[in-house]
């Protein structure tokens, strides 16, 4: 297989929540593969930082993916700037958690609407653009290994990420006639701003001991899978969910104890 199949030269990619953490790593990885980038985020300081990293080859938008008009306007601006949209990465999300006995409905709705409704809205308008262009496209939804487990104290997050699996499959079937492939990446345990310092705690060590790779993930570990799913190399791959977790989800016991 020619390595050119993995090239994103001439492609435009939009990454929501791409101003930090896993989203930033994916964005920079797609840029390294040749893509022109548009990135969204809600944190102004992080937006400024990623804008400086991208330079003239990218655009950064302040965007709440729960706001339909804003989503449509952002995608229109991406197309206006770059002439097309080829790849959408639905990464935007937030984190609340807490016991179901105490979880406020407002927190539940914030998590569900950001992860699930936001992904739906972005996919809706990105797909409209891709269908109009008539040359296919790629949608990559960022789920979680929490899509696969029961999640005590994280019922909101677990439900949202499980919904991503159903959304991915439904979109994959509906959009296949338009040559649009839709897949999901399920990250395992990664050290990001949300988990800063956690790897050195007893729980962090427990996670490492259950991970066959013997370590926590680094954001850059997601890049290869993201580039594959964004490129022509994955043209016959759709509707699947790929755990990128060092084997965490297939280990039945603690290791390296």
Active-site annotation, residues: 157
From 69, 72, 89, 97, select the one nearest 17 (Cα to Cα). 89
Q: What is the C-alpha separation between 63 and 84, in angstroms, rounded?
A: 19
C-beta atoms surrounding 170 within 10 Å? 14
The edge-to-edge listing of strands for the beta sheet with 180-187 is 58-62, 36-41, 12-15, 87-90, 137-142, 180-187, 241-244
Q: Is residue 66 a contact partner of residue 114, using CB atoms and an 8 Å limit?
A: yes
Neighbour tally for 55: CB within 10 Å? 8
């Amino acid at each position: 297989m020619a390595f050119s199949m993995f090239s994103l030269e001439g492609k435009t990619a939009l990454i929501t929540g791409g101003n930090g953490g896993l989203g930033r790593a994916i964005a920079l990885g797609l840029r390294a593969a040749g893509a022109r980038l548009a990135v969204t985020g809600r944190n102004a300081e992080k937006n400024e930082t990623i804008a400086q990293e991208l330079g003239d080859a990218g655009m950064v938008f302040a965007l709440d993916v729960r706001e339909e008009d804003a989503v449509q306007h952002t995608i229109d601006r991406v197309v206006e700037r770059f002439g097309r949209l080829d790849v959408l990465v639905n990464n935007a999300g937030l984190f609340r958690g807490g016991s179901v006995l105490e979880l406020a409905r407002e927190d539940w709705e914030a998590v569900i609407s950001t992860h699930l409704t936001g992904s739906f809205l972005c996919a809706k308008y990105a797909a409209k653009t891709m269908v109009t262009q008539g040359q296919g496209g790629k949608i990559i939804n960022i789920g979680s290994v929490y899509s696969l487990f029961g999640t005590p104290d994280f019922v909101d997050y677990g439900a949202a990420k499980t919904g991503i699996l159903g959304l991915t499959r439904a979109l994959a079937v509906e959009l296949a006639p338009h040559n649009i492939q839709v897949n999901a990446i399920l990250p395992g345990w990664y050290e990001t701003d949300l988990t800063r310092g956690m790897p050195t705690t007893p729980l962090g060590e427990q996670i490492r001991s259950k991970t066959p790779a013997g370590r926590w993930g680094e954001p850059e570990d997601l890049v290869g899978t993201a580039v594959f799913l964004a490129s022509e190399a994955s043209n016959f791959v759709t509707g699947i969910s790929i755990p990128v977790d060092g084997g965490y989800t297939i280990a039945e016991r603690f290791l390296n104890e």
